[in-house]
Amino acid sequence: MLVVACPGQGAQSPGMLAPWLELPVVAESIGRASEVTGLDLVAHGTTSDADTIRDTAVAQPLLVASALASLRAVLDLDASARLGAATGVDVAAGHSVGELAAAAVAGVLSDDEALALVAVRGAAMARAAAAMPTGMAAVLGGDAAEVLAALEQHRLVPANVNGGGQVVAAGALDDLAAFAAAPPARARVVPLQVAGAFHTSYMQPAVAELEAAATGIVPADPDATLLTNSDGSVVTDGARALALVVAQVANPVRWDLCCETMLELGVTGLLEVAPGGVLTGLARRTLPGVETVAVKTPADLDAARDLVRRHAGTSSTESPQEQSS
């Protein structure tokens, strides 16, 4: 059973699309994504510097467009074909903004719908982040209970619980600095280069903007198994899937629970679409026995296609029941 995993913000790097744009399907997909988002994603994926593509309003559309275009290259699909189970994908999951790409992978949204929403999401989150000095920091190692207790003591939120001993703290910059000055035992704190405290109540204004943009979309029910960051459960209703993606902007990402569900489902292979690397790194610590391929450049296409050939289409007939959030 194959899961397609779509990475989140922070996975981008300067020039990451340069080799991909030599492929006609990717060039067409990114060109279309530029039209939908109103951003020159070709330039941002080839010549823009690290500071430019770190901007939330740029990074998020760039990541979703890259994920969808690279998957089309892996599956040999033209830019107009709708994604979904018919393409051989068993399970779809995305980390943070990657959830919008995963919704398209599962057939809930079209590429254009996912891209239109991510343009709103990125710009709205950038505006919300600018309203107050907030940030995020990765907490690596330490006792899980002690880490969570220390975060609460410093008025911080575990915005991403990624598994494998990795939690991302978010909140006011002063509180983050105090936490970093006295971290829990055996824990290392690494400040992240992001604009604000994503997946916390600080992002509530962005939720309202994204919710308004989503009202014009009629989502389809997923035709591949779709996991939600809210609690790792399987979502079977398209309207609920879209509502969860909207609400997730101001709520923690539970990637650890998504990984637990992958194991319950019997996932045997994980394909991380471009710009791959982060989620496959986590998978090595959280998904024992699951074969992984990270799609970083077109040089990875043969390995990705081989993984799809050997693992896709082997779904079990029973899935964990959808849970309420």
Tell me which of 29, 66, 96, 233 is the catalytic residue.
Answer: 96
Q: Which helix (H) or strand (E) holds 149?
A: helix 144-153
What are the structure tokens assigned to 167, written together? Answer: 């939690």
Reference 92, options 319, 288, 298, 249; nearest CA is: 319
Strand partners for 140:
166, 188
Tell me which of 199, 230, 233, 311 is the catalytic residue.
Answer: 199
Own/partner pairs for 173-179, CB < 8 Å, 24+ apart? 173/133, 173/134, 173/135, 176/135, 176/136, 176/137, 178/154, 179/137, 179/150, 179/151, 179/154
Residue 96 appears among annotated catalytic residues:
yes
Is the distance from CB of 1 to CB of 89 less than 8 angstroms?
no
Tell me the C-alpha distance between 254 and 235, whole Å.
15
Residue 80 appears among annotated catalytic residues:
no
- Collapsing DSSP to helix, strand or coil, 53 comes out as helix
- Strand 2-6 and strand 269-272: the pairing is parallel
Residues with a catalytic annotation lie at 96, 199
